[in-house]
Amino acid sequence: MRRAREIVGLPVLCLKNGNQIGWVKDVVFDESSRKISGILLENAHIFHSEKGLPREVVAAVGKDALTVRDHVVQKIQGIKWSQKVGNQVFTQGGEAKGTIEDVFLDDSAENIVGFEVSDGLFSDLMDGRGAILQADVMVDGKDVLIVEDQVSPWDQGNEGGSLS
Protein backbone atom coordinates (compact mmCIF):
# COMPACT_ATOMS: atom_id res chain seq x y z
CA MET A 1 0.00 0.00 0.00
CA ARG A 2 1.15 3.53 -0.71
CA ARG A 3 0.00 7.10 -0.20
CA ALA A 4 -0.93 9.39 -3.10
CA ARG A 5 1.32 12.00 -1.46
CA GLU A 6 4.33 9.76 -2.24
CA ILE A 7 3.57 9.92 -5.97
CA VAL A 8 3.22 13.71 -6.20
CA GLY A 9 6.59 15.21 -7.12
CA LEU A 10 8.04 12.06 -8.73
CA PRO A 11 9.77 12.52 -12.09
CA VAL A 12 7.86 11.03 -15.04
CA LEU A 13 10.05 9.03 -17.43
CA CYS A 14 9.00 7.89 -20.91
CA LEU A 15 10.06 4.31 -21.71
CA LYS A 16 9.51 4.89 -25.43
CA ASN A 17 12.16 7.60 -25.88
CA GLY A 18 13.97 7.76 -22.54
CA ASN A 19 13.04 11.39 -21.83
CA GLN A 20 11.91 12.88 -18.57
CA ILE A 21 8.61 14.51 -19.51
CA GLY A 22 7.92 16.30 -16.24
CA TRP A 23 6.98 15.69 -12.63
CA VAL A 24 3.75 14.46 -11.10
CA LYS A 25 1.76 17.53 -10.08
CA ASP A 26 -1.43 15.77 -8.98
CA VAL A 27 -3.21 12.41 -9.07
CA VAL A 28 -6.76 12.30 -10.48
CA PHE A 29 -9.37 9.80 -9.26
CA ASP A 30 -12.46 8.51 -11.07
CA GLU A 31 -15.19 9.01 -8.48
CA SER A 32 -17.43 6.17 -9.68
CA SER A 33 -14.84 3.39 -10.07
CA ARG A 34 -12.61 4.49 -7.13
CA LYS A 35 -9.56 4.13 -9.40
CA ILE A 36 -6.85 6.49 -10.58
CA SER A 37 -7.89 7.95 -13.93
CA GLY A 38 -4.59 9.71 -14.61
CA ILE A 39 -1.87 12.06 -13.48
CA LEU A 40 -1.31 15.75 -14.08
CA LEU A 41 2.18 16.94 -14.87
CA GLU A 42 4.12 19.87 -13.40
CA ASN A 43 5.55 20.74 -16.83
CA ALA A 44 2.75 23.32 -16.90
CA HIS A 45 3.42 25.53 -19.91
CA ILE A 46 2.32 22.85 -22.40
CA PHE A 47 -0.36 21.21 -20.25
CA HIS A 48 -3.64 22.73 -19.20
CA SER A 49 -4.81 21.96 -15.67
CA GLU A 50 -7.22 19.24 -16.86
CA LYS A 51 -4.81 17.57 -19.29
CA GLY A 52 -2.39 14.85 -18.29
CA LEU A 53 -1.41 11.24 -18.76
CA PRO A 54 -4.13 8.57 -18.54
CA ARG A 55 -3.54 5.71 -16.06
CA GLU A 56 -3.44 3.19 -18.95
CA VAL A 57 -0.06 4.52 -20.16
CA VAL A 58 1.57 4.27 -16.72
CA ALA A 59 3.98 1.32 -16.75
CA ALA A 60 5.09 1.50 -13.12
CA VAL A 61 5.06 3.71 -10.05
CA GLY A 62 8.40 3.21 -8.37
CA LYS A 63 9.89 4.64 -5.22
CA ASP A 64 11.96 7.19 -7.16
CA ALA A 65 10.13 7.70 -10.48
CA LEU A 66 6.95 7.03 -12.43
CA THR A 67 7.43 5.41 -15.84
CA VAL A 68 5.04 5.62 -18.79
CA ARG A 69 4.90 3.51 -21.95
CA ASP A 70 4.14 6.50 -24.17
CA HIS A 71 3.78 10.26 -23.94
CA VAL A 72 0.00 10.47 -24.54
CA VAL A 73 -1.67 13.64 -23.27
CA GLN A 74 -5.44 13.89 -22.93
CA LYS A 75 -8.15 15.46 -20.79
CA ILE A 76 -8.32 13.64 -17.44
CA GLN A 77 -11.74 13.48 -15.77
CA GLY A 78 -12.23 13.15 -12.03
CA ILE A 79 -11.32 14.71 -8.72
CA LYS A 80 -7.75 15.69 -7.89
CA TRP A 81 -5.87 14.37 -4.88
CA SER A 82 -5.21 17.99 -3.86
CA GLN A 83 -9.00 18.56 -3.76
CA LYS A 84 -9.59 15.55 -1.46
CA VAL A 85 -7.00 16.58 1.13
CA GLY A 86 -8.68 18.71 3.78
CA ASN A 87 -12.20 17.36 3.20
CA GLN A 88 -14.18 16.69 6.37
CA VAL A 89 -15.08 13.14 7.48
CA PHE A 90 -18.45 12.58 9.14
CA THR A 91 -20.48 9.57 10.25
CA GLN A 92 -23.97 9.09 8.81
CA GLY A 93 -25.22 10.27 12.22
CA GLY A 94 -23.43 13.61 11.83
CA GLU A 95 -20.42 13.09 14.11
CA ALA A 96 -17.20 14.71 12.85
CA LYS A 97 -14.28 12.26 12.61
CA GLY A 98 -11.57 14.59 11.29
CA THR A 99 -10.18 15.62 7.92
CA ILE A 100 -8.64 13.69 5.04
CA GLU A 101 -4.85 14.07 5.00
CA ASP A 102 -4.04 11.54 2.27
CA VAL A 103 -5.46 8.81 0.05
CA PHE A 104 -4.20 5.22 0.41
CA LEU A 105 -3.67 3.31 -2.84
CA ASP A 106 -2.99 -0.35 -3.56
CA ASP A 107 0.58 -1.41 -4.42
CA SER A 108 -0.03 -0.97 -8.15
CA ALA A 109 -1.20 2.62 -7.47
CA GLU A 110 -4.40 1.91 -9.36
CA ASN A 111 -7.21 1.59 -6.77
CA ILE A 112 -8.20 3.62 -3.72
CA VAL A 113 -7.89 1.48 -0.58
CA GLY A 114 -8.76 4.10 2.03
CA PHE A 115 -8.08 7.50 3.54
CA GLU A 116 -5.64 8.81 6.13
CA VAL A 117 -7.55 10.95 8.65
CA SER A 118 -6.35 13.63 11.07
CA ASP A 119 -8.21 15.01 14.07
CA GLY A 120 -5.85 17.97 14.46
CA LEU A 121 -2.20 18.52 15.34
CA PHE A 122 -2.53 17.70 19.04
CA SER A 123 -4.41 14.47 18.33
CA ASP A 124 -1.88 13.55 15.61
CA LEU A 125 0.96 13.96 18.12
CA MET A 126 -0.79 12.03 20.88
CA ASP A 127 -2.59 9.27 18.95
CA GLY A 128 -1.20 9.42 15.41
CA ARG A 129 -3.36 9.66 12.34
CA GLY A 130 -6.16 7.21 11.70
CA ALA A 131 -7.43 5.39 8.64
CA ILE A 132 -10.80 4.81 7.02
CA LEU A 133 -11.02 1.82 4.68
CA GLN A 134 -12.82 2.28 1.36
CA ALA A 135 -15.27 -0.48 2.32
CA ASP A 136 -16.52 1.66 5.24
CA VAL A 137 -17.23 4.72 3.07
CA MET A 138 -20.92 5.31 2.43
CA VAL A 139 -20.63 8.56 0.44
CA ASP A 140 -17.50 10.10 -1.05
CA GLY A 141 -18.77 13.55 -1.93
CA LYS A 142 -17.06 16.59 -3.38
CA ASP A 143 -16.64 18.23 0.03
CA VAL A 144 -17.17 15.50 2.64
CA LEU A 145 -16.64 11.80 3.25
CA ILE A 146 -19.48 10.04 5.06
CA VAL A 147 -18.78 6.76 6.84
CA GLU A 148 -20.89 4.30 8.85
CA ASP A 149 -21.69 5.33 12.45
CA GLN A 150 -19.56 2.63 14.10
CA VAL A 151 -16.40 3.52 12.13
CA SER A 152 -13.61 5.24 14.01
CA PRO A 153 -10.33 6.07 12.26
CA TRP A 154 -8.38 5.28 15.43
CA ASP A 155 -9.86 1.86 16.29
CA GLN A 156 -7.83 -1.19 15.37
CA GLY A 157 -9.44 -4.08 13.54
CA ASN A 158 -12.29 -3.98 11.05
CA GLU A 159 -13.60 -0.53 11.98
CA GLY A 160 -10.74 1.59 10.65
CA GLY A 161 -7.45 2.14 12.41
CA SER A 162 -3.89 2.60 11.29
CA LEU A 163 -2.85 1.37 7.86
CA SER A 164 0.69 2.69 8.06
Which residue ranges form the domains of the chain, and what is each CATH number?
2-81 (2.30.30.240), 84-147 (2.30.30.240)
Question: Does residue 49 carry a pLDDT above 70?
Answer: no
Q: Report the C-alpha gap between 50 and 56 in whole angstroms.
A: 17
Mean pLDDT of the chain: 86
Q: Which residue has the higher pLDDT, 158 or 71?
A: 71
Q: Give me the pLDDT at residue 156, please.
A: 45
Overall average pLDDT of the 65-71 stretch = 94
Question: Does residue 163 carry a pLDDT above 50?
Answer: no
Q: What percent of the chain has pLDDT over 70?
A: 88
Q: Which residue has the higher pLDDT, 83 or 156?
A: 83
Q: Report the C-alpha gap between 36 and 18 in whole angstroms.
A: 24
Q: pLDDT, tens digit, for every residue of 138-160?
A: 888 888 989 988 887 766 444 44
H or E stretch at 125: helix 121-127
Q: Give me the pLDDT at residue 81, please.
A: 93
The identity of residue 52, as a single letter, is: G
Compute the radius of gyration of the chain from its Cα atoms: 17
Overall average pLDDT of the 96-100 stretch = 91
Compute φ and ψ for 52, nearest 5 degrees. -170, -160
Q: Give me the pLDDT at residue 43, please.
A: 64
Q: Which residue in 102, 98, 148 sits closest to 2, CA to CA?
A: 102
Q: Which residue in 159, 136, 154 sits closest to 34, CA to CA?
A: 136
Overall average pLDDT of the 38-56 stretch = 77
